[in-house]
Structure 1
């Protein structure tokens, strides 16, 4: 159990089960912010070109580790990007060698750098069957990309049209629905008996679609999957604070330079790595559920991935508002830090 007083909470050090670190100068700038608060993170493979083989995942891991601050215990957990040409044996070997922890499914065109994703799911059936055999989880970006489907309905349609058939044909496959955004997804996970979990982001616990669109377009709140109605945000909060072991933190912290966010066709993503723990503590405190924060950030994820929880601890204290920088400078340009829109009284000690 976490050690708690009215204005202090000590928990096992958290993990981030969905993270973008990019590459090059951007990676060099943002990696230390994740390493400051998180012990492990599932790193997304949607680089250009994508990380599609075990060898590429190992090389990417080495590039990340070169930017982890000295003395940090942070460990990136690597993934491979599933394509219609993925070799099942290469994936199995990378898993056996401890190089990858999961495989990532992007429907083609669903989000940033997803052009190499899957269009014909029958073509990846051998990979999914091999993954089920060896216990390698599949991380899923759960949206359809049919232009006839409203963007606010794409997650719900994905569950019915794509995910249910995948899980029916390969029932032993362990699946994580990443960055769920709807009541539909929460209910689907809750109603599933086995082999299904979901990550919830920091920003989807805080914003709804009004934050993006009401009173003028707010590009720094634009993300994919896009934030939905308030009833869906409430459903996500209830799932996060429930203590249900199937829901855990995946920030989907996704840095883009301001130049790329503010284009006429701007990039999707919120950069939350730097202030996630303060944001989450505020959400859980407001819900009277601080005792459940450790499960969401530090216990449920390792349990689903069959990993031990971290031995190190983190203490958060409540007091005067803590401030974070508005932007983080990178060699590619400034990146705006997610603004929750309310004061943050909990700080990481």
Structure 2
């Protein structure tokens, strides 16, 4: 195979940040992706419908002329979220999901949920109106090993939450374990799961063996090799409940290289080239369109994009870093040559 044309893909988990950072990274997503679920963990977070509208306006103002891109907005769930505001934002067509961060789980999650009983009314309303809940699935208990936090979250939080809220659509975001893959496979079609680009490529050795690699550090942290292989099988196996959510998360190099560096991998510029490599390696090029372009829209009840994207077997340009007004942002390095590129 020397070329592959697919429906234009979407990114179902994306960090655009704001201000100068957003202006620098947005074109790299809009170049390849038609739509993206936009994460609301700004400072302060995007909590209300009015704030989501203002953020959407800033995104569209930053979009370079001639580029086509639709930001799909989300709200940041807090213990004080107003269910009526959530319902109104959804009814307007603006908000496509609500994001649950356990308090302290990841970047800018301090305003997240500590007492899950306090979000009961919002979850019930979301189930009634068909608004999906996107979940960062990790517990934050200090006594739980960081490599076990996803599996414990499924047992302690996610499964009880879903049983208590029949009909609630849930996206398990950026899953990293075979536990999450197995759980997702055992559920009905009210549950979907996104898989990132980088978790298909790296395991925890890539972060720690031979010296710490800050640009491979993300949350949820990459796990052992058996979990990576489970993710690969889920992504490349044609199962419709799994779809692409890059979790592309730009941080300046200065912030990544601090003694307590930020978590996140910036994959927007080369995600499609990396995916082509992964799917070809797993003899699954015929499944790439489903994972990147079809399964996500089906879960969210949106049409597949009418325009297309073509990948060709030509060496992909190397993306060392992206310059921003705040400093350079290093692009994720998969650790191998990329022999596919977007035409």
Q: TM-score, normalised by structure 2?
A: 0.99
Structure 1 residue aligned with 2:42, among 44, 47, 52?
47
Whole-angstrom CA distance in 1 between matches of 2:226 and 2:54: 42
C-alpha contact (below 8 Å) 1:35/1:69 kept by paired residues:
no
Could you report, residue by residue, the CA deviation over 1:227-246 in whole angstroms, capped at 9, with x for unpaired residues? 00000000000000111110
- Could you tell me which runs of 5 or more consecutive residues in structure 1 were left unpaired when the two chains were aligned: 1-5
Q: What is the aligned partner in structure 2 of residue 328 from structure 1?
A: 322
Offset at residue 269 of structure 1 (A): 0.1
Whole-angstrom CA distance in 1 between matches of 2:70 and 2:64: 11
Whole-angstrom CA distance in 1 between matches of 2:293 and 2:67: 17
Structure 2 residue aligned with 1:187, among 182, 188, 196?
182
C-alpha contact (below 8 Å) 2:195/2:244 kept by paired residues:
yes
Q: What is the aligned partner in structure 2 of residue 241 from structure 1?
A: 236
Whole-angstrom CA distance in 2 between matches of 1:70 and 1:100: 24
Structure 2 residue aligned with 1:86, among 81, 87, 112?
81
Q: What is the aligned partner in structure 2 of residue 271 from structure 1?
A: 266
**Pairing of 1:1-349 with structure 2 (within 5 A):** 6-319=1-314, 321-349=315-343
Whole-angstrom CA distance in 1 between matches of 2:301 and 2:242: 15
C-alpha contact (below 8 Å) 2:189/2:241 kept by paired residues:
no
Whole-angstrom CA distance in 1 between matches of 2:2 and 2:141: 48
User: Residue 42 of structure 1: SS of its match in structure 2?
Assistant: strand
C-alpha contact (below 8 Å) 2:174/2:196 kept by paired residues:
yes
Could you report, residue by residue, the CA deviation over 1:112-161 in whole angstroms, capped at 9, with x for unpaired residues? 00000000001000000000000000000000000000000000000000
Whole-angstrom CA distance in 1 between matches of 2:34 and 2:166: 31
RMSD: 0.5
User: Residue 264 of structure 1: SS of its match in structure 2?
Assistant: coil
Whole-angstrom CA distance in 2 between matches of 1:26 and 1:301: 26
Could you report, residue by residue, the CA deviation over 1:27-80 in whole angstroms, capped at 9, with x for unpaired residues? 000001100000000000000000000000000000000111222221000000
User: Residue 80 of structure 1: SS of its match in structure 2?
Assistant: strand
C-alpha contact (below 8 Å) 2:317/2:341 kept by paired residues:
no
Whole-angstrom CA distance in 2 between matches of 1:325 and 1:331: 18
User: Residue 281 of structure 1: SS of its match in structure 2?
Assistant: helix
Offset at residue 323 of structure 1 (A): 2.1
User: Residue 72 of structure 1: SS of its match in structure 2?
Assistant: coil
Residue correspondences, number: 343
User: Residue 31 of structure 2: SS of its match in structure 1?
Assistant: helix
Offset at residue 316 of structure 1 (A): 0.3
Whole-angstrom CA distance in 2 between matches of 1:239 and 1:309: 21
Could you report, residue by residue, the CA deviation over 1:205-232 in whole angstroms, capped at 9, with x for unpaired residues? 0000000000000000000000000000
Could you report, residue by residue, the CA deviation over 1:262-302 in whole angstroms, capped at 9, with x for unpaired residues? 00000000000000000000000000100000000000000
Whole-angstrom CA distance in 2 between matches of 1:214 and 1:308: 43
Which range moved further: 228-237 or 63-72? 63-72
Which consecutive segments of 4 or more residues in structure 1 shift more than 2 A?
none
Offset at residue 325 of structure 1 (A): 2.3
User: Residue 136 of structure 1: SS of its match in structure 2?
Assistant: coil
- Could you tell me which runs of 5 or more consecutive residues in structure 2 were left unpaired when the two chains were aligned: none
Offset at residue 7 of structure 1 (A): 1.0
C-alpha contact (below 8 Å) 2:207/2:214 kept by paired residues:
yes
